[in-house]
């Protein structure tokens, strides 16, 4: 390892002061609100997911700034970005990359696919076949891609923001439970209110809202912030609260398949990120409760036979709110 590599490795593990992290989160929120108007909770969920080292699934109708939200994060942190339009004929190699024979060297040269970017937008992920969907599994779980007998690391930081329309079922392939479980959080953007939509029309005038979005931080800042989040204190009482919530989903009569142990790990990670964004160096039960639906709802399978994915999600969310209301909250550390 060279001295430059040593410095890079050290930088990757250097933490950021809690006050600096709160300031960074606030600046990112303010800058992203310029292009994603009136969606503070969606921005905060994306920021918390990114800081926690996870991936985000956005389920909503077209035209509500799902892709813009992800690309705004890439612009603000000066990260590379790529958008993959998932279709039925998309192949795994279209995601991970392919080797092409080079006549000049008489060797095969690997051309990285769009997954080798810091922020990857997997647009309409449920339109691709399960085989192509699975090309993202190793990338999301391990931060690497295995291609032709080689294991290639992905950028650090790395996040997948996938989108899908839960109301449209024709020509789609539902994400299996194992793949939904890889997404740390899920959110619905929803339509902006009338004031925000009018302001958007007046401000843009047909221009690309991302064109003037300048970076306010770097990859180094992002890695430092992630290190701080990962080391944030989690009291035993709060850990037991997380376990109680996750366990309750496995015994609730309205839920056929409850949350996995990975869900508990993800819930703790996002709660840490929420606490750090608020400038605290510890996780409170409120951080857990505020993020529980975003982290757990998409992983659950409700009992019965919901008519659509949207109905299934609504049933799971309703069960989660009931579990949150009935689970005792720890009084202190």
pLDDT above 60 (res 10): no
The yes-or-no verdict on residue 7 having pLDDT over 90 is: no
Burial class (CB in 10 A: 0-12, 13-18, 19+), 275: buried
DSSP-derived secondary structure letter, 165? -
Write out the two tokens for 207. 């221009």
Which pLDDT band holds residue 4 (cuts at 50, 70, 90)? very low
pLDDT at 41: 93
Count CB atoms within 10 A of the CB of residue 18.
18
Q: Highest mean pLDDT: which of 135-144, 161-170, 190-199, 259-268?
A: 259-268
pLDDT of residue 34: 86
SS3 101: strand
Helix axes 18-32, 261-277, angle to 10 degrees: 90
**pLDDT recorded at residue 332:** 58
pLDDT at 87 over 80: yes
Q: Mean pLDDT over all residues of the chain?
A: 88
Q: Which of 225, 232, 273, 287 is nearest to 24 (CA)?
A: 225
- What's the pLDDT score for residue 199? 75
pLDDT band at residue 228 under the 50/70/90 scheme:
very high
Condensed to tens digits (0 to 9), the pLDDT of residues 32-76 reads: 998 888 889 999 999 999 999 999 999 887 777 888 999 999 999
Mean pLDDT of the region 111-115: 93
**Could you report how far apart the first and last alpha carbons of the chain are, in Å?**
43
In whole angstroms, give the CA distance from residue 290 to residue 293: 7
The burial class, CB within 10 Å (0-12 / 13-18 / 19+), for 201 is: exposed
Q: Which pLDDT does position 209 carry in this prediction?
A: 75
pLDDT at 6 over 70: no
**pLDDT exceeds cutoff 70 at 173:** yes
Q: Would you mind telling me the total number of residues written for the chain in this entry?
A: 333
Contact assessment for residue 86 and residue 123, using Cβ atoms and an 8 Å cutoff: yes
- Residue 258: predicted pLDDT: 92
Rg (CA), the chain: 20
In this prediction, residues 160-182 reach a mean pLDDT of 82
Q: Is the pLDDT of residue 214 over 80?
A: yes
**Where is average pLDDT lowest: 147-151, 153-157, 215-219, 313-317?**
147-151
Number of Cα atoms under 13 Å in the Cβ half of residue 209: 21
Res. 279 pLDDT band, cuts 50 70 90: very high
Residue 321 near residue 293 (C-beta atoms within 8 A): yes
Does the pLDDT at position 306 exceed 90?
Answer: no
Residue 13 confidence (pLDDT): 61
| pLDDT winner (highest mean) among 197-206, 253-262, 324-333 | 253-262
Which class for 4: exposed (0-12), middle (13-18), buried (19 or more C-beta within 10 A)? exposed
How many other C-beta atoms can be found within 10 angstroms of the C-beta atom of residue 256?
12
Please answer whether residues 247 and 308 qualify as being in contact, where contact means their C-beta atoms are separated by less than 8 angstroms.
no
Per DSSP bridges, beta strands 301-302 and 255-257 are antiparallel
User: How far apart, in whole angstroms, are the C-alpha atoms of residue 160 and residue 158?
Assistant: 7
For the purposes of burial, counting CB atoms within 10 Å of the CB of 22, is it exposed (0-12), middle (13-18) or buried (19 or more)?
Answer: middle
Comparing CA positions, the residue from 228, 230, 247, 330 lying closest to residue 288 is: 330
- Please, which pLDDT band fits residue 208 given cuts at 50, 70 and 90? confident
Give the residue-averaged pLDDT of 274-289.
Answer: 95
The predicted structure's pLDDT at residue 234: 95
Average the pLDDT over each of 167-176, 223-232, 291-300 and give the range with the smallest value.
167-176
pTM for the full model? Answer: 0.90
Q: How far is residue 240's CA from residue 321's CA, in Å, rounded to a whole number?
A: 18
The torsion angles phi and psi of 97, rounded to 5 degrees, stand at: 120, 175
Query: Long-range pairs for 286-292 at CB < 8 Å and ≥24 separation?
Result: 288/238, 288/241, 288/242, 288/245, 289/324, 289/329, 291/45, 291/48, 291/185, 291/267, 292/245, 292/267, 292/320, 292/324
Place of tokens 């009018």: 198
Positive or negative: CA dihedral 199, 200, 202, 203:
positive
Which uninterrupted H or E stretch holds 140? helix 137-142
| Poorest-pLDDT segment among 11-15, 108-112, 200-204 | 11-15
């Amino acid at each position: 390892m060279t001295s430059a590599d040593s410095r890079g490795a050290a930088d990757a593990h250097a933490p950021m002061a809690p006050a600096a992290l709160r300031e960074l989160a606030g600046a990112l929120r303010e800058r992203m609100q310029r292009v994603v108007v009136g969606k503070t909770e969606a921005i905060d969920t994306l920021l918390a997911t990114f800081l926690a080292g996870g991936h985000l699934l956005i389920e909503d109708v077209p035209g509500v700034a799902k892709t813009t939200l992800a690309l705004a994060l890439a612009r603000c942190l000066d990260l590379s970005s790529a958008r993959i339009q998932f279709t039925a004929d998309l192949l795994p190699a279209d995601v991970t990359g392919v080797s092409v024979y080079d006549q000049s060297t008489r060797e095969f040269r690997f051309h990285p696919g769009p997954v080798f970017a810091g922020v990857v937008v997997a647009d309409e992920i449920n339109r691709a076949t399960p085989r192509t969907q699975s090309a993202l599994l190793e990338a999301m779980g391990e931060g690497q891609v295995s291609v032709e007998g080689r294991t290639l690391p992905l950028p650090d930081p790395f996040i997948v923001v996938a989108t899908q329309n839960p109301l449209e079922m024709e020509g789609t392939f539902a994400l299996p439970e194992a793949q939904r479980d890889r997404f740390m959080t899920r959110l619905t953007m929803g339509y902006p209110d009338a004031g925000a939509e009018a302001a958007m029309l007046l401000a843009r005038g047909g221009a690309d809202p991302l064109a003037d979005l300048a970076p306010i931080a770097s990859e180094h800042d992002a890695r430092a912030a992630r290190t701080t989040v990962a080391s944030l204190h989690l009291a035993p009482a709060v850990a037991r609260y997380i376990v109680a919530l996750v366990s309750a989903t496995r015994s609730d009569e309205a839920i056929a398949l409850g949350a996995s142990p990975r869900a508990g790990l993800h819930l703790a990670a996002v709660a840490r990120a929420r606490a750090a964004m608020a400038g605290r160096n510890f996780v409170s039960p409120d951080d857990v409760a505020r993020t529980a639906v975003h982290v757990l709802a998409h992983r659950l399978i409700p009992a019965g036979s919901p008519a659509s994915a949207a109905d299934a999600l609504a049933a799971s969310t309703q069960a989660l709110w009931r579990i949150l209301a009935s689970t005792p909250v720890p009084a202190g550390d």
